[in-house]
A and B are shown apart, each in its own frame.
Chain A
């Protein structure tokens, strides 16, 4: 039980470091002087000291929506597969619950964007609705197919089963599900082929457009929510699609898990440097690919059993 709580706190603490690490890796690859990996904490401390200004046009939603963006993600962190052998985990939470909690958070983020009554917020919310409507079917299909391979519909139990018995006989459908989930990881977190988190250019921004009017504590909460969302996706990827290293004793298993998270962050950084951002109406091509792979993984498992 203590290890369970410790792992959740650890994931929450490592979340800002991962995002800063992606940024630093990109800067190294572009021959710039990299930022510190603790930049996420510095930004958080800075924003906590700043004054919070709320626009006069907004309703009460702006005051409580940031907390409702953060809280479903924190609840999701309790449902993740365990990172150490024999650790406590919640076994009954299935693909629908995890997808639903993440989309609940997205829903309040969209509401927050609309509430500020600026043109940018509306643009950002409509784009986010467009993207997340395409992400959800693929995500449900992918998580279902991986949990069928693991032999249990609960995500936590699926992670344990995969670590104990790796599905060598279902390697093809495992690979398709992995490709699909990696595309979803990029799409849901607004990384480069879908959305560029670093610019404030009105033609391209999605996530930044919704939070343009926020400041101070509220902005800090939303930034924390973004980093926690990334760590949720990365740890789901690490425990479901790279299910190795859990059988060692607790400290080594935790170190291996953190190494896997940083490996995923490095992959994302390399991808961001090497690809250009897609035009908004080209995004269905990429997400369509994710849906095709998710479906393919399911039917390869059912029909061929491969």
Chain B
């Protein structure tokens, strides 16, 4: 079950890399966060950790529903261009993404030999970190760069829940608060973007 959810997590990120519409990108980010929240719920239930279950519920409410909704409203308010074409051409992306995946899978081999629980998930979360970096690189407009930033946060969260059997809950709540503050800062960036247009 955990393998299945982690597969869907990576799959939704890869589909987001090929998207050319802004609202579809928000949708894929929302699905990505939903899978992350369900993963936290499942792992939390397996290791019987109440803090992680609460974190999973908050992830689903904030990241899968809240942030995409706020971003969609903001981009409607500021009349963003909804057509976002990736700067990296598709034929190069087809070669680049498997190269990144192979590279990171081998890169994480020394790390996974040190960790004895859930070694595979470390490799997938590092590769999704690199893929969300690619998502930031391949777009020029501010909204999709923000989605890339939020995806980096998601993959770090995945690393946290899968590699360490749960961070302290206070740290994770702090991260959520940071994220909401980041959305407020992003709002200011959107104002600037609108003035440019």
Contacts and interface: CB of A to CB of B under 8 A. Distances in A.
B91 to A, nearest CB: 7
A294 to B, nearest CB: 10
A289 B18 contact: yes
Given A296-B101, A299-B101, A303-B106, A289 B3 contact: no
B98 interface: yes
A244 to B, nearest CB: 15
Contacts of A179: 11
B4 A284 contact: no
A274 to B, nearest CB: 12
Interface in B1-22: 1, 3-4, 6-8, 10-11, 14-15, 18, 20
B105 A285 contact: no
Given A169-B3, A288-B91, A306-B120, A295 B98 contact: yes
A79 interface: no
Interface residues of B, number: 25
A289 B106 contact: no
Report the interface size class on chain A.
20 to 34
A223 B7 CA distance: 38
A284 B90 contact: yes
B185 interface: no
Q: Tell me what chain B mostly uses at the interface: helix, strand, loop, or mixed.
A: helix
Contacts of A292: 14, 94, 97-98
Q: Tell me what chain A mostly uses at the interface: helix, strand, loop, or mixed.
A: helix
Contacts of A114: none
Nearest to A287: B94
B105 A172 contact: no
A303 B102 contact: yes
A287 to B, nearest CB: 9
A284 B8 contact: no
A174 B98 CA distance: 17
B52 interface: no
A305 interface: yes
30 contacts: A169-B3, A171-B7, A172-B3, A172-B4, A172-B7, A172-B10, A172-B124, A175-B4, A175-B7, A175-B11, A284-B90, A285-B20, A288-B90, A288-B91, A288-B93, A289-B15, A292-B14, A292-B98, A293-B11, A293-B14, A296-B10, A296-B14, A296-B98, A303-B105, A304-B105, A304-B123, A305-B120, A306-B3, A306-B120, A306-B124
Interface of B: 1, 3-4, 6-8, 10-11, 14-15, 18, 20, 90-91, 93-94, 97-98, 101-102, 105-106, 120, 123-124
Given A172-B120, A174-B7, A299-B101, 6 more contacts: A170-B3, A172-B124, A285-B18, A285-B90, A295-B98, A299-B98
